[in-house]
Structure 1
């Protein structure tokens, strides 16, 4: 979201007017007499005095306000899954797409953060220093009163951590849920948004999640997937209800339970027939 109204918003995108040009860059009107440098390397070709630029505002290593046309991976007030670039005695530094890395103070780590690993964090402005920082203690940044969920709701998931039970995920940027291992039938990449569904809302408010639609709509999708595979494989798939669940998952990216329900439905609809060696499509006349 671009801010085109004063005051200046640190850690966000702002629309600012060019007021001065020097060899090393341009100065932008930051309101209330503040002049903000955009280094020459970030200045779009052909920019002139009086023109407005959409820029991201942050502080450099000397705490000066700096503008850039680079787009960070996330802005203040957002959650993001970022990789650790460096570690110091005071905290860690994350790669967020800008020259100056994003700092996580030692006290804002849930556990010791390691170089090369990625973590879900929340970006905010430290009230004492007025610097842009991040925290891995995401629970305290989740809204106390947020979205009301219902079972079977479609939601946006950001998977971020493997556990013994499955994968933790941020749900609609406002709540934490878990995708249990027995609900994972396709590749899930940490840090990549995906669509999921609310399977159960627990008494403590925590969410059980699934990656597949719940109910008959989901089985209809599985049936269509099987038919598409049959067509692609010349009308035959070498799997039955006796095939090992791991083999079905590895080759069809679905659970054995869903596979059995789907071929049962297709059989009743007279769209397939089943033999000991597998499933055959019934060719339409």
Structure 2
């Protein structure tokens, strides 16, 4: 199947601002004389007038003619999304992408057969033959190289799309790929999940290793907030110290012992807590600048 990740005709598959040119019995004509598109009456905003600019999404109708709508799709051409399978027909699966007309995921562009009710991570693109937006679940060719300014420890947004023996492949910040490794003691998020993650390592070959656990300064700040929230909930005293067993710390706070020790060390230096043999206590109201170690 011929396809491309760009518009075959100006504006197809994208949200854009178009000017109202004239009114017709079926609705409004938008665009410019060389490239006109119909906005059907059912989508015409109240008080829309000739000369106004409207923000619309342009796609193809059942006869492959450009048509505009004021509805917003979940994703437009060039974007990744998690969509739900509505039905399966002779040529592929149909996905709910937020418009009245469902989005086709052709059989040749599926990694594996999907069924109604399932979620699938796809890229929206244009079919060169019909000029219509379609979906593909074969994503690798559309992932960019990591940006040059990407840094280890950086927070990123993840869309998980394929499980492997080592972890789950992720689309990072809607642009490039990475691998979220399985972590001992943590349940792996499901394929299709959106997560905030962190860059664990950037390999020499450009591949990106990911983690859900903050690293570096972000890790200390995150653990510090966890400890402060736990102190607030428990009336200013935790039955944990830097001598507590790792299992007790993880069970109570969801932190590793290393992260906990770094957090209470930072809070102690800020004079916000005192650390005893078997407890950690806030000094006065949380946020007080004074404190001392027993």
Alignment gaps of 5+ in structure 2: 1-8, 285-289
1:26 aligns with 2:31: no
Instruction: State yes or no: 1:151 paired with 2:152.
Output: yes
Going from structure 1 to structure 2, the CA distance change for 1:164 and 1:239 (only over 3 Å counts) comes to farther
Determine helix, strand or coil for the equivalent of 1:98.
Answer: coil
Map 1:1-285 to 2 at 5 A.
Answer: 8-29=10-31, 31-32=33-34, 34-143=35-144, 145-148=145-148, 149-161=150-162, 165-182=166-183, 194-239=195-240, 242=244, 245=247, 248-249=249-250, 251-263=252-264, 266=267, 271-276=273-278, 278-283=279-284, 284=290
5+ residue gaps, structure 1: 1-6
Q: CA deviation at 1:93?
A: 1.0
Question: C-alpha displacement at 1:265, in angstroms?
Answer: 5.2
Alpha-carbon shift at residue 208 of structure 1 (Å):
1.2
Q: CA deviation at 1:156?
A: 3.1
Higher relative contact order (CA 8 A, sep 6+): 2
Q: In 1, Cα distance between the equivalents of 2:19 and 2:185?
A: 50
Name the stretch that deviates more: 189-198 or 165-174. Answer: 189-198
In structure 2, what is the Cα distance between the partners aligned to 1:131 and 1:30? 21
Secondary structure (helix, strand or coil) at the match of 1:21 reads strand
Q: CA deviation at 1:154?
A: 3.5
Cα RMSD after superposing both structures? 3.1
Change (3 A) 1:264 1:20: closer
Query: What do residues 69-110 of structure 1 show as CA deviations (whole Å, max 9, x unaligned)?
Result: 111111111111211111123111111111111111101011
Contact 2:64 2:131 (C-alpha < 8 Å) held by counterparts: no
CA distance in 2, matches of 1:124, 1:60: 16
Scaled by the length of structure 1, the TM-score of the pair is: 0.81
**TM-score, normalised relative to structure 2:** 0.79
Q: Which secondary structure state, in structure 1, belongs to the residue aligned with residue 134 of structure 2?
A: strand
